[in-house]
Structure 1
Amino acid sequence: EEIETWMDEAFDMAKDALQNGEVPVGCLMVYNNEVVGRGRNEVNETKNATRHAEMVALDELLNWCHHSNLDVSKVSRKTVLYVTVEPCVMCAAALRLLSILHIALVVYGCRNERFGGCGSVLDVSGADLAQTGSTFKCVSGHRADEAVEMLKTFYKQENPNAPKPKMRKKTHKQKS
């Protein structure tokens, strides 16, 4: 039941992302039953490819700890990250590489078959890799079908932020 409550909020953020022309991914970081970080994809609006939902939420967690005078490593050990889609390789690596973090658990909706960093493409979350931070546990499949449908909706529409195609001039080669 607790998972569903937090996933509801993550899906609300994903819907907001979709309505704003972003890939529909929403994320929450929950500590002691309180949201201490939240994010949705902001890649298109910021024109910054690193502004994935998890990275936005992670920034909020760091700011929350700073303003609350709390040790981020102690907070993160008891923090659960809820996200609608499996974290990509970049986000999974960021969660792992920030050695101050030891995220307790990552709960996600659907698998990310193209870029997933929690086992779909690479197992960044659990691989035994020297000097790459702490592994973290993942639980998948929460409302996966709904997450997939939102992604399909996004990818069926035209991306207003996509670069305009350039017309190429045809060159005629002379026969020799």
Structure 2
Amino acid sequence: MNKCIELARIAKERGDSPVGSILVKNNTIVGEGIEGGKTFKDITYHSEIEAIRDATKSLNTSDLSDCILFSTHEPCIMCSYAIRHHKINTIVFAIPVNDVGGYSSKFKVLEDLSVKKWGSTPKIIKGILEKECLALHE
């Protein structure tokens, strides 16, 4: 999570929301993402999506079922769709996003079992270094 905080600081310094994400496989970072919606004028430029893109490129596969996603913030519903599509089995985040989060909002993409090809729901670990991640917003 400390690496996510480092990436979130980079996002904040360039004027984006302070969100950073990494994907880890076998204790090795295989993907990194820095929030960039304002910088790149692209609402889909979320750190989780960028970490997934980085990981699929470095691993040369779309199957990320052996990976753990770490993020400073709960993945939104858009990012949650990508997480489920790539079968990421564990998500660790610090700050919940109650209005559009894929876990804590009314749009529970991370818990949905109705899309059969997604398989089982990912394990969710929340609140890790929450205080430190909240401080990024000061």
TM-score, normalised relative to structure 2: 0.91
Decide which of 130, 138, 144 is 2:130's aligned counterpart. Answer: 144
Q: Which residue of 1 aligns with 2:112?
A: 127
Decide which of 78, 85, 95 is 1:90's aligned counterpart. Answer: 78
Higher strand proportion, which one? Answer: 2
Q: Distance in 2 between matches of 1:129 and 1:59?
A: 25
Q: Which residue of 2 aligns with 1:37?
A: 31
1:121, CA displacement in angstroms? 3.7
Q: Which residue of 2 aligns with 1:51?
A: 45
Decide which of 77, 100, 111 is 2:65's aligned counterpart. Answer: 77
Paired residue secondary structure (1:27): strand
User: Cα deviations across residues 52-94 of structure 1 (Å, max 9, x unaligned)?
Assistant: 000000110111122xxxx442xx2211000000001110111
How many residues are matched?
137
Stretch deviating more after TM superposition (129-138 or 24-33):
129-138
Q: Distance in 2 between matches of 1:130 and 1:19?
A: 38
Stretch deviating more after TM superposition (47-56 or 130-139):
130-139
1:144, CA displacement in angstroms? 1.2
Decide which of 89, 93, 108 is 2:93's aligned counterpart. Answer: 108
1:21, CA displacement in angstroms? 0.4
Decide which of 1, 6, 10 is 2:4's aligned counterpart. Answer: 10
1:142, CA displacement in angstroms? 0.5
For the pair shown, the structure with the greater C-alpha radius of gyration is: 1
1:132, CA displacement in angstroms? 5.8
Q: Do the aligned residues in 1 keep the contact of 2:98 with 2:104 (CA within 8 Å)?
A: no
Q: Distance in 2 between matches of 1:79 and 1:20?
A: 28
Paired residue secondary structure (1:44): coil
Report percent identity of matched pairs.
Answer: 27
Q: Distance in 1 between matches of 2:46 and 2:26?
A: 24
Q: Distance in 2 between matches of 1:10 and 1:108?
A: 10
Q: Distance in 1 between matches of 2:89 and 2:66?
A: 6
Tell me the C-alpha RMSD between the 2 structures. 1.5
Q: Distance in 2 between matches of 1:8 and 1:116?
A: 21
